[in-house]
Amino acid sequence: MSYKDKIMGCWMGKAVGGTLGQTFEGLDGPLDATFYEPVPTEMVPNDDLDLQVLYACVLDKQEAPIVDRHVLASAWRDHVEFPWNEYGVGMRNLAEGIAPPFTGSFDNWFTCGEGAAIRSELWACLAPGAPDLAAAYSYEDACFDHDGDGIWAPVFLARLQSLAFIESDPDKLIDGALAGVPSDSEISHVVIRARELVRSGRHWQSSRAAIVAEFGNSDFTDVRVNTGFVIIGWLTGNDFEERICITNNCGADTDSSTATIGALLGILDPNCIPERWLAPIGRDLVLNEEITGISPPPTLDEFTDLVVDLAERLGGREPEPTATEFDPAAHRIAVDIAWTNTAHESWELRDLSELPPEGSGIPKLRQPWQPAALAGTWTRISRDDFEDRILMVRLRYDARGRENVRLMFNTTEHFRIWNDGEYLHGSQGTQRMFPAPHMAPVGQFIDFAAEPGVHELVVAVTRPPENRPLGEWVIALVEGDSKLWIENAFRISGHEPAADAATFPSPSPNRRLSINEDHTAR
């Protein structure tokens, strides 16, 4: 098979897997899919492919193409309107004056999401048989919206897919891909563990259960567990159809993981994809409307031609990353902190959560407000750091001209919120942290019309119960329609934290309060 045939096989396998997986995205496995549900009549758009098409089009417009994190970040700023998960956080950080790699590492709950792993194929196709170069390209891309294992997963996959142009033995491919990934990373661990499970002769459902038990968490997009599912499907199945169905039926971020295994198989053998999977989707290239301002190739065939030409123009040129300074203290959020409790109040003033009933006023404070600062929109606090049963946080916000907004307060604990002194919203703590404003857990967000100017929020949060040592929250203000984060919504000019203001809560060896301290803590 020619280099061009393998690239075409990559995109066809990617499209097949992504189309199969879209229906089941976010569901826990094991599932039992055997074909598309519903059966499509044309290509189904998917961000997994959209963003790679965008990158190729942007690079193609350069007189001398170079894969550079700042060029790719500009592509996000100018052409992407996806609000999802790490995408939204990366674009928010960029809009707030932060440059890669800190757009991915700072204040980002989704550092380990699938968002960059699903963009790895382009870099492999631009560096076939050159895994180090493919990995370098992938790193430039992934650092925009990821960190830690969220970068190492696409680096692993780009190396794997690059090697698949010249090698077919699974063990040699996996070992060669792992050679460029830190041995102490969770991605290295999950790949090795998944291979061990398959080698032991387990049924795929047993292998899946072991990976979930060892690497799973509340984020269905977590790249560690989903990469494990890719390895399980690949090594357990006997042909294209069985392999993509096993990966899909492991559940979680199915459109991403199944697209990844489909692309890998398409590179290894473009003829392995049965016609019954190809016929329903055709070869037209259809992008989501959230990709704007480009003229993409109309078909996968022409996209393949573009990639072949772009690889020749790149000529193996390596990225030339430039150092970027970043001071996280400059991006803290000014707040006031106080403590209270309702333990001695009547039932009219509290409910079973210990907070005021819905619609009530702000509870009486047990001590005055004290100025402080949050490290960002994401906070983790130890139960031991609670000075009383209820934490009170006061902060300002500005919707920056947006009229209809969504306020998300995704937290493990019970909470109440007041807007300019009036009750706005409240809920019980969630069983599942998933702080994506477009699909946060029920009860963890409210839509309302924002008045112009600066306003004040007061948030009451209960202490975690005795059986849980940590509480956690992410607060976001986003556009009501697009669900894109509003830039500097909680960082107000004239109300910056004092230089000597303490960051709340103060760091401790047992927990991390900022993604910069520990990228794998969740």
Same domain, yes or no, for 288 and 366?
Answer: no
Confidence of residue 510 (pLDDT cuts 50, 70, 90): very low
For the chain, the 3-state helix, strand and coil shares in percent, each to the nearest 5, are 40, 15, 45
In a domain, 443, yes or no: yes
Number of domains in the chain: 2
Confidence of residue 515 (pLDDT cuts 50, 70, 90): very low
In a domain, 319, yes or no: no
**Can you tell me the mean pLDDT for 226-231?**
99
Report percent pLDDT > 70 for the chain: 97
411: β partners: 473
Q: Cβ(465)–Cβ(62) under 8 Å? A: no
In a domain, 337, yes or no: yes
Q: Give 38-82 pLDDT, tens digit per residue.
A: 999 999 999 999 999 999 999 999 999 999 999 999 999 999 999
The whole-number pLDDT of residue 521 equals 32
The whole-number pLDDT of residue 408 equals 99
Same domain, yes or no, for 55 and 134?
Answer: yes
**Preceding omega of 505 cis (within 30 degrees of 0):** yes
In a domain, 113, yes or no: yes
Rounded to whole angstroms, the Cα distance separating 115 from 104 reads 11
The whole-number pLDDT of residue 1 equals 82
For residue 110, is pLDDT > 80? yes
CB atoms within 10 A of CB 486: 21
**Can you tell me the mean pLDDT for 154-175?**
99
Rounded to whole angstroms, the Cα distance separating 55 from 478 reads 26
For residue 517, is pLDDT > 80? no
Record the pTM: 0.95
Q: Give 34-47 pLDDT, tens digit per residue.
A: 999 999 999 999 99
Confidence of residue 349 (pLDDT cuts 50, 70, 90): confident
In a domain, 513, yes or no: no
Q: Cβ(461)–Cβ(411) under 8 Å? A: yes
The whole-number pLDDT of residue 446 equals 98
The whole-number pLDDT of residue 345 equals 84
Same domain, yes or no, for 305 and 339?
Answer: no
The answer for residues whose C-beta is within 8 angstroms of residue 307's C-beta and 6 or more apart is 7, 56, 122, 125, 126
Report percent pLDDT > 90 for the chain: 91
In a domain, 352, yes or no: yes
Same domain, yes or no, for 290 and 412?
Answer: no
Rounded to whole angstroms, the Cα distance separating 90 from 230 reads 26
For the chain, how far is it from start to end, CA to CA, in angstroms?
A: 43
In a domain, 362, yes or no: yes
Confidence of residue 394 (pLDDT cuts 50, 70, 90): very high
**Can you tell me the mean pLDDT for 219-233?**
98
CA dist list (Å): 118 to 130, 257, 261, 262, 405: 19, 8, 10, 11, 30
Annotated binding site for Mg(2+): 47-48, 253, 255-256
Same domain, yes or no, for 363 and 279?
Answer: no
Give residue 63's domain range.
3-314
Q: CATH number of the domain that 333 lies in?
A: 2.60.120
Rounded to whole angstroms, the Cα distance separating 476 from 75 reads 24
Same domain, yes or no, for 286 and 432?
Answer: no
Out of 80-84, 87-91, 303-307, 507-511, which region has the weakest mean confidence (pLDDT)? 507-511
The whole-number pLDDT of residue 348 equals 82
Q: Give 405-456 pLDDT, tens digit per residue.
A: 999 999 999 999 999 999 999 999 887 899 999 999 999 999 999 999 999 9
Same domain, yes or no, for 171 and 255?
Answer: yes
For residue 341, is pLDDT > 60? yes
Residues 354, 360, 361: CA angle, nearest 5 degrees? 100
Same domain, yes or no, for 485 and 403?
Answer: yes
Rounded to whole angstroms, the Cα distance separating 274 from 191 reads 27
Same domain, yes or no, for 310 and 356?
Answer: no
For residue 301, is pLDDT > 70? yes
Among 109, 104, 81, residue whose Cα is nearest residue 93: 104
Same domain, yes or no, for 337 and 302?
Answer: no
Same domain, yes or no, for 400 and 460?
Answer: yes
User: Whole-number mean pLDDT of the chain?
Assistant: 95
For residue 514, is pLDDT > 50? no
Annotated binding site: 47-48, 253, 255-256
Among 85, 134, 135, 138, residue whose Cα is nearest residue 116: 138
CA 192 remoteness from chain centre: 23
In a domain, 517, yes or no: no
For residue 384, is pLDDT > 70? yes
